[in-house]
Amino acid sequence: MACRSASAVMDEQALLGLNPNADAPYRQRALAYFEQLKESQDAWEVCADALAKGIYSDDHVKFFCFQVLEHQIKFRHAGLSAPQQQLIRETLMTWLQTQLMNAQPEKAFIRNKAAQVFALTFVMEYLTLWPKFFFDILNLVGLNPHGVDIYLRTLMAIDGEVVDRDIVHTPEETRRNTLIKDSMREQCIPSLVESWFQILTAYQQNHPELTCQCLEVVGAYVSWIDLNLIANDRFVNLLLSQMSMEDLREEACDCLFEIVNKGMDPVDKTKLVESLCQVLQSAGFFNIDQEEDVDFLAKFSRLVNGMGQSLVLSWTRLVKCGGAKEAAAALHAVEAKVPLLLQLLVHEDDDISTNMVGFCYDYLHVLKQLPQLTEQQKANVEAVMLAVMKKLTYDDEYNFDNEGEDEAMFVEYRKQLKMLLDRLAQVSPELLLEAVRRVFTSTMQTWQTAPFMEVEVAIRLLYMLGEALPASHGAHFSGDTAKTGALQDMMRTLVSCGVSGYQHSSVSLEFFETVVRYDKFFIVEPQHIPNVLMAFLDQRGLRHNSPKVRSRVSYLFSRFVKTLHKHMTAFIEDILTRIQDLLELAPPENGFLALLTSDDQLFMFEAAGVLIVSGESPMERKQVLMRSLLAPLMDAFRLLLAKLLQETAEERQAALADCLSHAVGFASRTSKAFSNKQTVKQCGCTEVYRDCLQSFLPALSCPVQRGALRGAVRSFLHRMIICLEEEVLPFVPAASEHMLKDCEAKDLQEFIPLISQITAKFKCQVSPFLQQIFMPLVLAIFEVLGRPAEENDQTAALEKQMLRRSYFGFIQTIAGSGMNEVLANQGAENMERVLFTIIQGAVEFPDPIAQKTCFIILSRMVELWGGKDGLVGFPDFIYKHIVPACFMAPLKPTFDLSDAQTVLTLSECALTLKMIHLKRGSEFIQFLQHEYLPSLQVTPEISQELCQVLQQPDIKVLKNYIKAFFQRAKL
Cβ(152)–Cβ(145) below 8 Å: no
Judge whether 876 and 883 are in contact, CB under 8 Å: no
pTM: 0.81
Q: Around Cβ 641, how many Cβ atoms within 10 Å?
A: 19
| Angle, alpha carbons 130-77-83 (nearest 5°) | 65
Distance CA 905, CA 963 (A): 11
Return d(Cα 340, Cα 816) in angstroms, integer. Answer: 70
Q: Where are the alpha helices (DSSP H) in 346-451?
A: 350-355, 357-369, 375-391, 405-427, 429-445
SS (H, E, C) 589-614: CCCCCCCCCHHHHHHHHHHHHHHHHH
State the pLDDT at residue 678: 87
Contact 151, 98 (CB under 8 A): no
Contact present, 215 and 255 (Cβ < 8 Å): yes
Asked if 258 and 295 count as a contact pair (C-beta separation under 8 A), the reply is no
pLDDT at 9: 65
CA distance readout (Å), 785 to 151, 267, 679: 65, 71, 41
Tell me how far apart the alpha carbons of residues 504 and 526 are, in angstroms, rounded to a whole number.
27
> Would you state the pLDDT for residue 484?
84
Write the burial class of residue 430 (CB in 10 Å: 0-12 exposed, 13-18 middle, 19+ buried).
exposed
CA–CA dist 938, 933 (Å, integer):
5
Q: How many CB atoms lie within 10 A of CB 125?
A: 17
Q: Please, is 171 exposed, middle or buried when counting C-beta atoms within 10 Å of its C-beta (0-12, 13-18, 19+)?
A: exposed
Please report, to the nearest 10 degrees, the dihedral formed by the alpha carbons of residues 134, 139, 143, 148 taken in order: -30
Question: What is the C-alpha to C-alpha distance for residues 50 and 516, in angstroms, rounded to an integer?
Answer: 74
Task: Determine the Cα–Cα distance for residues 609 and 666; give it in Å rounded to an integer.
Answer: 10
- Give the pLDDT means over successive 10-residue stretches in the chain (971 positions): 45 76 80 80 87 90 91 92 95 96 94 97 96 96 95 97 86 94 96 97 94 96 93 91 92 95 91 92 86 91 97 95 90 96 95 97 96 94 95 92 92 96 94 94 96 97 91 72 87 97 96 96 96 97 96 97 94 95 84 84 97 91 96 96 92 93 97 91 94 95 89 94 90 86 80 87 86 88 84 83 90 84 84 91 92 94 87 89 94 91 94 94 92 90 92 91 89 73
CA distance to 647, 801, 855, 932, per residue, from 886 (Å):
56, 21, 8, 12
- Return d(Cα 346, Cα 629) in angstroms, integer: 53
Give long-range contacts, CB 8 A cutoff, 24+ apart: 235-244.
235/193, 235/197, 236/276, 236/279, 238/197, 238/200, 238/201, 239/215, 240/279, 240/280, 240/283, 242/200, 242/204, 242/211, 242/215, 243/280, 243/283, 243/285, 244/283
Neighbours of 96 (CB within 10 A): 21
DSSP 8-state assignment for residue 395: P
SS3 label, residue 929:
helix
pLDDT score at 2: 40
668 CB burial (10 A radius; 0-12, 13-18, 19+): buried
Tally Cβ neighbours within 10 Å of residue 354. 21
Per-residue confidence (pLDDT) for residue 472, from 0 to 100: 63
User: Closest Cα to residue 863, out of 915, 817, 809?
Assistant: 915
Return the closest-CA partner of residue 297 out of 250, 245, 261. 250
pLDDT at 591: 57
Helix 82-101 to helix 45-53 angle, to the nearest 10 degrees?
20
